[in-house]
A and B are shown apart, each in its own frame.
Chain A
């Protein structure tokens, strides 16, 4: 039972949330401009790393907000939680 730090509500049990998978996958601005393979990459291909992962969570049984979490997929250590639109911590770009 993870303890998820919702940026709006604070730390709550995992069972209040749903995970939305990998974060920072942008929908192509012009879908017609991308090839089928690029579209498939957006739709289906995932990094699925063993280690640091940036992912989306939504506080379903709480404030209802989506936000991002940086979590280690082996230890489950959560190094950051940040709002949609915010840059991930440590991301200089």
Chain B
């Protein structure tokens, strides 16, 4: 590890007692606690941190904040890696490992830099104009383009970290912990209002941490510490450092990302998540988001060693890192002179200040001059030199109102060029909230104008750049916001913090800095450093008609990088405006979209991953099924046993065994998942009449009825059996997947259309466990468990229900059947489900009792031609299509009835449900296969229908299938072709009931 060659001997907010080691591009370096990766790299004199995406020119650290376009690095390796970390926002920790992205073999020596030679051929949008021939090769070109594109690399394994979410409400959310934000939080907090203050940095203070300001006569950093301490002491105030508010959504809902343990590096985080997503509903919002310095656009403005002026100042003041040894300042405004003065104070030689203004007369220029710094006014930087590090610049005199340069170029050796083109208020969140921005011609920037929500911009984020104004505006905003939520200060009056500031003259013109030679042929004027968009690209876009700001962005990719164009967008707009002879007020601006800075997907997902990605519902008998070898299928959220595999058995074998047992002796099935809706009230029957296709008023207590439920469009939506439990009491069953939907459907009609009906509906699915016993021995086994009900077919016929005691448990017995066998559904309170199931299994052993999975159930019901909603239906099927007209009453209205009479819905020849018998009895047709008239035809081959269900039936010793076929019921006995992979099979259309057509087993 080498010496930190560019570290100042003293000063800064770093902890020299805590040295840290880190590795960048394979080399080991040292830094201190309190450093960012960027400041530590600068302290070690590292100049090249990456390469431009398009021309692969060397790039250095450009900023000290979230706006960083260049210093994008791959942080850590393996599953912990972060693809595109901004070095300026990575807090240094011991053992940190980072590499540059998108260069090979290294940032220092990048082969792709040869692309620079081709750069005249790569103007904006060049790919739209070429690579079209030959067509077959585009995918080859594209593969090359794809490999060259992209920045960092994705992790190679699942995320080892965890993420949390927090929902909070507050009276006042203050975004930004700089002077305006701190003042706002203090003013609001002292009233007792619930305040959240969030700031993206590791400590509060914002830009106060970077300079030497004074507040209320004391050093600003002392004031900041005291303000932070006072806020911490307020019960209702919550300060969130390392928290970026990234999205401003509707109705004052904002989202923020807190980096909880990122600054500790990869580690076993223990109880703490890596990051936390704050979902904040604020009554009032104060946007004290500060401002971002913008670079002038000049020839060769992308070399390592060229840096925003405030960033240079931040590095020497806050991090005690010297970004260079001999500096030039290039500015159009007074404020940036502070950087020159501070650099000078940090023993950086300041060779000159180049100011584009002809006669800078402000106090700060005067101060610089009195410090013997050469001031070159009315000049501009027109060229830069140095390959991997800036070595010199050239300046020329500006003429023609700043539009031309003239005279001799003067060469000034330097390794740091600090640049400033003024400041842009960070208006992203204000714009996201729906607020309108206006163009301020004096500052040449976009500032908040008209708020759309309960929000107040304050301080630099509002275009109020001077410190005294920031404090006053923040304080006033905090007090006003608190007052508006009814929170008033107690105790003695307090006054806003104040500061004495050096007045500043207005900034000079902002736009492209001219250079000698052809305006579009000389060295590149970069506008967007990350996406390598130049002023010439913008001119080309305008020339070709891509002159709207959105076209410009999309054609050139301006502002579409990971920095979202924070240093580029306004410059791009200014250039476009000038080409059109207008200003930014005339061109408008592109939409500010969330997020302000990139947000981790894992944090947005939170804990809703893995087992928690969606609730899995399990019946009380689930663990028994597991132990019995069940394979499960997902049905809605439920886990249902699909089949029970015995050792040495395959699925077909298991299903066959289960099916045979059900027909020949005794099957047992867990039917708990079927939806159960309790319906009570004097108008319960009327409700059923209105939502079901058949009539309900005559159903006696103790009886059940099957029915279809339609959507208002006449299409089958659900089916099931409903039992009349009492005079005003019914129990409806639904399909497993539709239970919630049907309940919501009933509620919707009851509440919105039929509020006069006296009836209540409630889901009781989870309250009951349902066990189905089916097969010739079902009655025998059940009889062993119950003494208080006559199970005989006369006393307890098919489609009846009885209250009974089963195995000592109060139960409801329903004699219904989905298999076509003698069958009882036993409902017991859910907590008895497993006990009763186990008892049935034990007692049923003598009958060879066999658990049935859903697959066996489906085979058995298909043998009977019973439909499954969602399998025989798909939202386009009517009762008549299913051959179920018998269940549709013509004597009453019900939901969907009117639609059945529409011309297409009543049309003959619709697809109808039929059975299919393949010529080859062993052939099980694939479900979803289509029926065609002429399989040999060239495509498109018209389909006449499709196979909805298809199985091998062990009971019939052959395959069976159900299908929806055009005009199917009129084609009984006809042979049809079923299109299959590599051929077709012949099958005969037949009635869908394959087994026990008379239903004698059912009624037995």
For residue B251, which residues in chain A have a CB less than 8 angstroms away from its CB? 1-3, 76
**Which residues from 744 to 778 on chain B have a C-beta closer than 8 Å to any C-beta of chain A?**
744, 747-748, 751-753, 755
Bound Cα distance from A76 to B903, whole angstroms: 40
Bound Cα distance from A36 to B899, whole angstroms: 8
For residue A85, which residues in chain B have a CB less than 8 angstroms away from its CB? 755
Determine how close the nearest CB of chain B comes to the CB of A60; give it in whole angstroms: 8
A31 to B902, Cβ gap below 8 A?
no
B712 interfacial contact with A, CB 8 Å? yes
A1 to B253, Cβ gap below 8 A?
yes
Among A27, A56, A75, point to the contact of B434 (Cβ < 8 A).
A75
A43 interfacial contact with B, CB 8 Å? yes
B893 interfacial contact with A, CB 8 Å? yes
| Nearest B residue (CB) for A23 | B752
Residue with the greatest number of chain B CB neighbours at <10 A, chosen from A1, A2, A65: A1
A36 and B903 contact, Cβ closer than 8 Å, known pairs A2-B251, A3-B253: yes
B747 to A64, Cβ gap below 8 A?
yes
A1 and B751 contact, Cβ closer than 8 Å, known pairs A13-B281, A31-B898, A43-B713: no
B995 interfacial contact with A, CB 8 Å? no
| Nearest A residue (CB) for B902 | A36
For residue B752, which residues in chain A have a CB less than 8 angstroms away from its CB? 20, 56, 66, 84
**Which residues from 70 to 122 on chain B have a C-beta closer than 8 Å to any C-beta of chain A?**
none
B452 interfacial contact with A, CB 8 Å? yes
The proximity string for A residues 51-85 relative to B, scoring 1 for CB distances below 8 Å and 0 otherwise, is 00000101010001110000000011000000011
B249 interfacial contact with A, CB 8 Å? yes
B250 interfacial contact with A, CB 8 Å? yes
A43 and B899 contact, Cβ closer than 8 Å, known pairs A31-B893, A76-B251: yes
A32 interfacial contact with B, CB 8 Å? yes
B751 to A39, Cβ gap below 8 A?
no
A43 to B712, Cβ gap below 8 A?
yes
A27 and B281 contact, Cβ closer than 8 Å, known pairs A2-B250, A20-B748, A43-B713: no
B897 interfacial contact with A, CB 8 Å? yes
Bound Cα distance from A80 to B901, whole angstroms: 39
A39 to B898, Cβ gap below 8 A?
yes
B751 to A66, Cβ gap below 8 A?
yes
Determine how close the nearest CB of chain A comes to the CB of B916; give it in whole angstroms: 34
B281 to A3, Cβ gap below 8 A?
yes
**Which residues from 7 to 43 on chain A have a C-beta closer than 8 Å to any C-beta of chain B?**
13, 20, 27-28, 31-32, 34, 36, 39-40, 43
A31 and B897 contact, Cβ closer than 8 Å, known pairs A1-B253, A13-B281, A66-B748: yes
For residue B713, which residues in chain A have a CB less than 8 angstroms away from its CB? 43
B434 to A65, Cβ gap below 8 A?
no
A58 and B748 contact, Cβ closer than 8 Å, known pairs A1-B250, A75-B452, A84-B755: yes
The proximity string for A residues 38-50 relative to B, scoring 1 for CB distances below 8 Å and 0 otherwise, is 0110010000000
B753 to A27, Cβ gap below 8 A?
yes
Bound Cα distance from A18 to B893, whole angstroms: 28
Bound Cα distance from A75 to B901, whole angstroms: 41
For residue B281, which residues in chain A have a CB less than 8 angstroms away from its CB? 1, 3, 13
Determine how close the nearest CB of chain B comes to the CB of A17; give it in whole angstroms: 12
B898 to A76, Cβ gap below 8 A?
no
**Which residues from 280 to 333 on chain B have a C-beta closer than 8 Å to any C-beta of chain A?**
281
For residue A39, which residues in chain B have a CB less than 8 angstroms away from its CB? 898-899, 902
For residue A84, which residues in chain B have a CB less than 8 angstroms away from its CB? 751-752, 755
For residue A64, which residues in chain B have a CB less than 8 angstroms away from its CB? 747
**Which residues from 900 to 923 on chain B have a C-beta closer than 8 Å to any C-beta of chain A?**
901-903
| Nearest A residue (CB) for B756 | A85
Q: How large is the interface on B (under 10, 10 to 19, 20 to 34, 35 or more residues)?
A: 20 to 34
Bound Cα distance from A43 to B899, whole angstroms: 9
Determine how close the nearest CB of chain B comes to the CB of A12; give it in whole angstroms: 10
Determine how close the nearest CB of chain A comes to the CB of B754; give it in whole angstroms: 9
A66 to B893, Cβ gap below 8 A?
no
Determine how close the nearest CB of chain B comes to the CB of A24; give it in whole angstroms: 10
For residue A34, which residues in chain B have a CB less than 8 angstroms away from its CB? 898
Bound Cα distance from A39 to B748, whole angstroms: 20
For residue A36, which residues in chain B have a CB less than 8 angstroms away from its CB? 901-903
For residue B249, which residues in chain A have a CB less than 8 angstroms away from its CB? 1
For residue A32, which residues in chain B have a CB less than 8 angstroms away from its CB? 893, 898
Residue with the greatest number of chain B CB neighbours at <10 A, chosen from A20, A31, A39, A75: A31
Bound Cα distance from A85 to B249, whole angstroms: 32
Bound Cα distance from A6 to B253, whole angstroms: 18
For residue A13, which residues in chain B have a CB less than 8 angstroms away from its CB? 253, 281
| Nearest B residue (CB) for A66 | B751
Determine how close the nearest CB of chain A comes to the CB of B361; give it in whole angstroms: 47
Bound Cα distance from A3 to B453, whole angstroms: 13
B902 to A76, Cβ gap below 8 A?
no
Determine how close the nearest CB of chain B comes to the CB of A72; give it in whole angstroms: 11
Determine how close the nearest CB of chain A comes to the CB of B686; give it in whole angstroms: 15
Bound Cα distance from A58 to B741, whole angstroms: 13
| Nearest A residue (CB) for B747 | A64
Determine how close the nearest CB of chain A comes to the CB of B59; give it in whole angstroms: 39
Determine how close the nearest CB of chain B comes to the CB of A75; give it in whole angstroms: 7
Bound Cα distance from A58 to B745, whole angstroms: 11
The proximity string for B residues 977-993 relative to A, scoring 1 for CB distances below 8 Å and 0 otherwise, is 00000000000000000
Residue with the greatest number of chain A CB neighbours at <10 A, chosen from B249, B251, B713, B748: B251
Bound Cα distance from A52 to B428, whole angstroms: 28
For residue A2, which residues in chain B have a CB less than 8 angstroms away from its CB? 250-251
Determine how close the nearest CB of chain B comes to the CB of A80; give it in whole angstroms: 15
Bound Cα distance from A13 to B165, whole angstroms: 15
Bound Cα distance from A5 to B160, whole angstroms: 40
Bound Cα distance from A56 to B753, whole angstroms: 12
Bound Cα distance from A60 to B748, whole angstroms: 11
Bound Cα distance from A58 to B251, whole angstroms: 19
The proximity string for B residues 709-731 relative to A, scoring 1 for CB distances below 8 Å and 0 otherwise, is 00011000000000000000000
Determine how close the nearest CB of chain A comes to the CB of B781; give it in whole angstroms: 41
The proximity string for B residues 260-291 relative to A, scoring 1 for CB distances below 8 Å and 0 otherwise, is 00000000000000000001010000000000
Bound Cα distance from A2 to B453, whole angstroms: 12
For residue A31, which residues in chain B have a CB less than 8 angstroms away from its CB? 893, 897-898
| Nearest A residue (CB) for B754 | A27
**Which residues from 214 to 258 on chain B have a C-beta closer than 8 Å to any C-beta of chain A?**
249-253
| Nearest B residue (CB) for A29 | B893
For residue A28, which residues in chain B have a CB less than 8 angstroms away from its CB? 898
Bound Cα distance from A59 to B218, whole angstroms: 55
Bound Cα distance from A58 to B898, whole angstroms: 26
For residue B903, which residues in chain A have a CB less than 8 angstroms away from its CB? 36
For residue A20, which residues in chain B have a CB less than 8 angstroms away from its CB? 748, 752
For residue B902, which residues in chain A have a CB less than 8 angstroms away from its CB? 36, 39-40
For residue A58, which residues in chain B have a CB less than 8 angstroms away from its CB? 744, 747-748, 751
Bound Cα distance from A66 to B752, whole angstroms: 7
Among B250, B747, B893, point to the contact of A76 (Cβ < 8 A).
B250
Determine how close the nearest CB of chain A comes to the CB of B572; give it in whole angstroms: 28
Determine how close the nearest CB of chain A comes to the CB of B878; give it in whole angstroms: 15
Bound Cα distance from A47 to B250, whole angstroms: 23
Residue with the greatest number of chain A CB neighbours at <10 A, chosen from B252, B752, B899: B752
Bound Cα distance from A59 to B334, whole angstroms: 57
The proximity string for B residues 676-716 relative to A, scoring 1 for CB distances below 8 Å and 0 otherwise, is 00000000000000000000000000000000000011000
| Nearest B residue (CB) for A78 | B251
Determine how close the nearest CB of chain A comes to the CB of B741; give it in whole angstroms: 11
Bound Cα distance from A62 to B755, whole angstroms: 20
Bound Cα distance from A71 to B893, whole angstroms: 34
Bound Cα distance from A27 to B749, whole angstroms: 11
Q: A27-B753, A39-B899, A84-B751 are in contact. List 5 more A-B contacts (CB 8 A).
A: A32-B893, A36-B903, A39-B898, A43-B899, A65-B751
Listed A/B pairs (27) with beta-carbon separation below 8 Å: A1-B250, A1-B253, A1-B281, A2-B251, A3-B251, A3-B252, A3-B281, A13-B253, A13-B281, A28-B898, A31-B893, A31-B897, A32-B898, A34-B898, A36-B902, A40-B902, A43-B712, A43-B713, A43-B899, A56-B752, A58-B751, A60-B744, A64-B747, A65-B751, A66-B752, A75-B452, A84-B752
The 8 closest A-B pairs by CB, nearest first: A31-B898, A3-B251, A1-B253, A66-B751, A66-B752, A76-B250, A2-B250, A36-B902
